[in-house]
Amino acid sequence: MIEYYRRLWAAGQAMYEAHAFDRTPTGPIVAFELFLLAFSGFTLYWLWKNEKKGAQRFFLAAGGLFIHQFFTSPMWHNYKLGWWSYLYQDISWISTFAWASLIMWTLTLVDRFRANWPDWKRFPVYLAVLAPAALVYEAILLKLGVSGYSPEVQQAISGRTLLGTPVETFVYVPVFMALVVSFTKYWSFYIMSKPVIPLRHRPWVRSFAITLVSVLLFEITVEPMVQNVGFPAWSYIFHDITLVLTGAWIVLTWLAINLVDKFFIHFSLRGKFLAYLGVVFAGVLPAEIWLIASGHRVYGPSTVSAFTGLHVPWTLVPVEVVFGIPLYFALILSFVKYWEIILDNK
């Protein structure tokens, strides 16, 4: 037993060293980190004192961000922040808290100043406030030499810049923010025991439309991470995004939501969410195993280099993919369900 854990320890050490990168910070980077820490600390304190379940909601936002950062981390670099800053590989907890603070200020201020607006009307306002703030934040990180993009991302982007950031960021940031805001809001409903009206008749068509938008937008933003190879030529709609695969994810997500909502109508928001995830995971994992084994799904070099090298036993599937599936779908499901809830509970 001890020998087993000693070997596990050695494997962990080897993995850490295999993913070495420049962690040495410069003076301006340290100053910026201190500013972010002060900003996050103040936000957390203010929320704790002034907002109902404010601290819990702050950590919800941070959780949503971490899921997104963990899932998409092979797409960019986040170097030179100092050894104290990293949580997993080059994901920084200081950066996660700073993003969470930005999101929580936006949600709180918009909710306070537009309290009589319905949720669906407030949502674009969140994005309109968050997107420019996020772009400024990204521009500062690029200027400091902290942020950088993987070769696959550099190949996928046009090369045009605006305010010092690639123009694609103007699509990426709102999509990323829409997912994280939805995740935060959905789970806020749960922790604040918001009454969510049960539906006698499921709106299947509306649900399909929301799922389609959600999956398609997320697929576009994470497209550089993986290549979909060998699908019929007609099915490719943008770069290597294929209608066959994306369509399958859309249908699976849509069915999971509607079947769980129909047959487990009495479940709480948490219970339903876990059931959606379970159904989706049970469908996607075998598909992913087959797609990787048959060469239809090829992960990019940056994604592969971020893998620890551990595989699911008897398969070629990296463990990160197994963890990635529920993380990817957790954000998509939150988005779809958040929109359904706010449209049904006006």
Partner 1 sequence: MTIMTLGFCLLFILAAFAIQVVLPIFLLYKLVRFLMRKFGGGQPEPKAAAGEGLKAALERSRAESGDASGAVTAAPQSEFASPAREAIFVKLKKEGRLDRLALVYYVEDALKSGLTPQAVAEALRAKGWPEADIAAVVPG
24 binds partner 1 (CB under 8 A): no
Q: Give min distance, CB of 3 to partner 1, in A.
A: 13
Please identify, among the stretches 7-15, 55-63, 97-105, 285-293, the one whose residues bind partner 1 according to the rule CB under 8 A. 7-15
DSSP-derived secondary structure letter, 8? H
17 binds partner 1 (CB under 8 A): yes
Q: How many residues of this chain bind partner 1 (CB under 8 A)?
A: 28
Site residues for partner 1, window 200-229 (CB under 8 A)?
200-201
Considering Cα of 262, then 284, then 67, then 297, what sign does the dihedral take?
A: negative
Segment holding 88, helix H or strand E = strand 86-88
314 binds partner 1 (CB under 8 A): no
**Measured from the CB atom, is 59 or 93 closer to partner 1?**
93
Q: Give min distance, CB of 79 to partner 1, in A.
A: 14
Considering Cα of 125, then 131, then 132, then 134, what sign does the dihedral take?
A: positive
Q: Tell me which amino acid residue 333 is.
A: L
268 binds partner 1 (CB under 8 A): yes
Q: What does the block give as tokens for 289? A: 């195993």
- Distance in angstroms (rounded) separating the CA atoms of residues 97 and 199: 36
**Measured from the CB atom, is 23 or 239 closer to partner 1?**
23
Q: Give min distance, CB of 308 to partner 1, in A.
A: 8
- Distance in angstroms (rounded) separating the CA atoms of residues 103 and 96: 11
Q: Give min distance, CB of 268 to partner 1, in A.
A: 6
313 binds partner 1 (CB under 8 A): no
**Measured from the CB atom, is 195 or 295 closer to partner 1?**
195
Please identify, among the stretches 6-14, 32-40, 172-180, 239-247, the one whose residues bind partner 1 according to the rule CB under 8 A. 6-14
**Measured from the CB atom, is 52 or 143 closer to partner 1?**
52
118 binds partner 1 (CB under 8 A): no
**Measured from the CB atom, is 26 or 193 closer to partner 1?**
193
Q: Which of 27, 159, 198, 313 binds partner 1 (CB under 8 A)?
A: 198
- Whether 292 and 215 have beta carbons less than 8 Å apart is answered as no
Q: Which residue has the tokens 């694609």?
A: 168
- Distance in angstroms (rounded) separating the CA atoms of residues 227 and 266: 40
- Comparing CA positions, the residue from 331, 345, 341, 340 lying closest to residue 182 is 331
Phi and psi at residue 168, to the nearest 5°: -60, -25
344 binds partner 1 (CB under 8 A): yes
Residues 6+ apart with CB under 8 A from 301: 151, 152
Please identify, among the stretches 11-19, 158-166, 173-181, 282-290, the one whose residues bind partner 1 according to the rule CB under 8 A. 11-19
8 binds partner 1 (CB under 8 A): yes
Site residues for partner 1, window 226-265 (CB under 8 A)?
263-265
Segment holding 227, helix H or strand E = strand 226-228
- Distance in angstroms (rounded) separating the CA atoms of residues 135 and 50: 28
- Distance in angstroms (rounded) separating the CA atoms of residues 113 and 25: 39
160 binds partner 1 (CB under 8 A): no
HSE (CB half, 13 Å, CA atoms) of 6?
3
* Residue ranges that bind partner 1, judged by CB under 8 A: 5, 8-9, 11-13, 15-17, 23, 83, 86, 88, 193-201, 263-266, 268, 344
